[in-house]
């Protein structure tokens, strides 16, 4: 693989990392370590392993066909695309709210802004919309490498520095406790990220090909993906470790209030590194969450516009323009997110757990749709997954399905 060609390809995998390294890492992984020590680190590792094939199918499909997974769902059948669209509509507002409210909490805490979290969230969403519509997202695409690198290095240093911190014994994870199980569901639901990101990733891969005028080989696309995927998995374990070393058994509990949680998160770093590191850590955390907010707000309109056009061809006007364009879908996402926050967002933890739980239940369905896209008769035979990867995917689909059924029975019947 030539270095020059590889550098042209790099991008979608890092955008995946920018979208994934957010709430699942900064919030859920830290909570796992702070509440249960290292007891759930195997869950974090297992979730990354189980979901791998379904994320891998995204760059595989895009680089082989030049189209996103939305096209793959449509070729599978209108029913498949309809299911994807419905699942997206059911999760988009909660997911956007979860990542943006954490960004708002960090912003408010770092700069001492007295506005309410909902007001800050609205400001961030409309500012992000301006950034995307003014074409500045390409600049953020280049900055994402520095942002992810900064957070990775600072997290690694903080974990090493916190290694010698002593803590008291604390309560272990209780498999019979409803609150513990509910957190487990939320953790798995968004680790390393919701499977929705696979569709976004395929769309970004297509956009990258169009902007760079370079069509990467399957090998190049998979390298870019694996680089981002493995990196996010290690970073998740870093956040679990930091929570375990600094807060587990300390008698402190992570707050469900967004601003207070943001303060606790940054304090964990400065506690182990020293006050000199405050602004480095604060900026790294804020830029990471802002990159997640931007990528998510870009992703939903990017996948919903073609989905609505394929499902309802009449939405296109006579000059082939969409009646519900990218901008309109972005406004729908923003106002739906704000409505959810106004009516149900009294607690950051509630919003985060709602989004992650919905993603958990939807995971096996999206996993099956991705599998069908890369095994469809229209997909190039030379690019289809090898037998071991298909078996791997089947194991993942069965596990995710059984786990979701267990959750639904536990939640609504038992």
Q: In terms of Cα–Cα distance, which of 380, 366, 43 is closest to 183?
A: 43
List the chain residues with pLDDT less than 70.
1-14, 22-23, 135-145, 164-171, 211-212, 214, 248-261, 272-273, 315-323, 345-349, 351-356, 414
Between CA 207 and CA 124 the distance in angstroms is 24
User: Which residues pair with residue 384 across a beta bridge?
Assistant: none
Output the pLDDT for position 323.
60
Output the pLDDT for position 413.
74
Output the pLDDT for position 318.
56
* Residue given tokens 């599978």 in the structure block: 76
Asked whether 302 and 15 are in contact (CB, 8 A), the reply is no
Q: What stretch of H or E contains 211?
A: helix 196-212
Supply the range of the domain harboring residue 307. Answer: 3-412
The whole-model pTM stands at: 0.84
Quick: pLDDT tens for 117-133: 889 999 999 998 988 88
Q: Looking at the chain, how many residues does it have?
A: 414
Whole-number Cα distances in Å, 357 to 157, 162, 198, 334 = 32, 31, 18, 21
Whole-number Cα distances in Å, 66 to 24, 69, 313, 334 = 30, 10, 21, 29
Buried b (16+ CB within 10 A) or exposed e, 115-130: eebbebbbebbeebbe
Q: How many domains does the chain have?
A: 1
Quick: pLDDT tens for 159-181: 777 776 655 555 677 777 777 88
Output the pLDDT for position 284.
73
Sequence-distant (≥ 6) Cβ neighbours of residue 287 within 8 angstroms? 143, 147, 150, 151
Output the pLDDT for position 347.
58
Q: In terms of Cα–Cα distance, which of 24, 94, 61, 91 is closest to 365?
A: 91
Output the pLDDT for position 52.
94
Residue 269's CATH number: 1.20.1740.10
Output the pLDDT for position 31.
81
């Amino acid at each position: 693989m030539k270095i020059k060609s590889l550098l042209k390809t790099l991008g979608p995998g890092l955008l995946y990392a920018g979208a994934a390294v957010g709430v699942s890492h900064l919030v859920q992984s830290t909570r796992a370590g702070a509440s249960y020590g290292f007891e759930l680190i195997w869950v974090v590792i297992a979730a990354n392993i189980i979901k791998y094939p379904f994320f891998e199918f995204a760059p595989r499909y895009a680089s082989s066909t030049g189209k996103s997974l939305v096209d793959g769902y449509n070729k599978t059948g209108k029913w498949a695309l309809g299911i994807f669209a419905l699942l997206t509509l059911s999760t988009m507002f909660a997911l956007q709210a979860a990542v943006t409210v954490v960004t708002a909490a960090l912003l408010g805490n770092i700069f001492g802004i007295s506005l309410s979290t909902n007001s800050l969230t609205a400001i961030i969403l409309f500012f992000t919309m301006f950034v995307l519509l003014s074409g500045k997202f390409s600049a953020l695409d280049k900055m994402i490498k520095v942002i992810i690198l900064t957070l990775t290095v600072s997290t690694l240093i903080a974990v090493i520095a916190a290694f010698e911190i002593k803590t008291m014994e604390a309560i272990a994870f209780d498999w019979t406790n409803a609150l513990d199980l509910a957190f487990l569901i939320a953790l798995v639901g968004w680790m390393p990220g919701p499977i929705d990101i696979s569709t976004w990733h395929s769309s970004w891969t297509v956009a990258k090909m169009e902007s760079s005028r370079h069509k990467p080989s399957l090998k190049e696309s998979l390298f870019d993906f694996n680089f981002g995927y493995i990196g996010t998995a290690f970073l998740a374990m870093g956040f679990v470790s930091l929570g375990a070393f600094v807060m587990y058994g300390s008698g402190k509990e992570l707050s469900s209030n967004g601003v207070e949680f943001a303060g606790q998160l940054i304090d964990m770093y400065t506690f182990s590194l020293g006050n000199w590191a405050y602004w480095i850590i604060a900026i790294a955390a804020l830029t990471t969450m802002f990159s997640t907010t931007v990528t998510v707000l870009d992703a939903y309109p990017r996948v919903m516009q073609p989905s609505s056009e394929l499902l309802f061809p009449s939405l296109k006007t006579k000059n082939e323009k969409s009646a519900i364009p990218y901008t309109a879908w972005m406004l729908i996402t923003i106002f739906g997110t704000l409505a959810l926050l106004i009516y149900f967002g009294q607690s950051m933890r509630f919003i985060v757990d709602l989004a992650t739980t919905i993603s958990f239940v939807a995971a096996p369905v999206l996993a099956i749709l991705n599998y069908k896209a890369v095994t469809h008769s229209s997909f190039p035979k030379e690019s289809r997954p090898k037998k071991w990867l298909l078996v791997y995917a089947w194991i993942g689909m069965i596990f995710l399905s059984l786990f979701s059924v267990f959750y639904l029975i536990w939640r609504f019947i038992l």
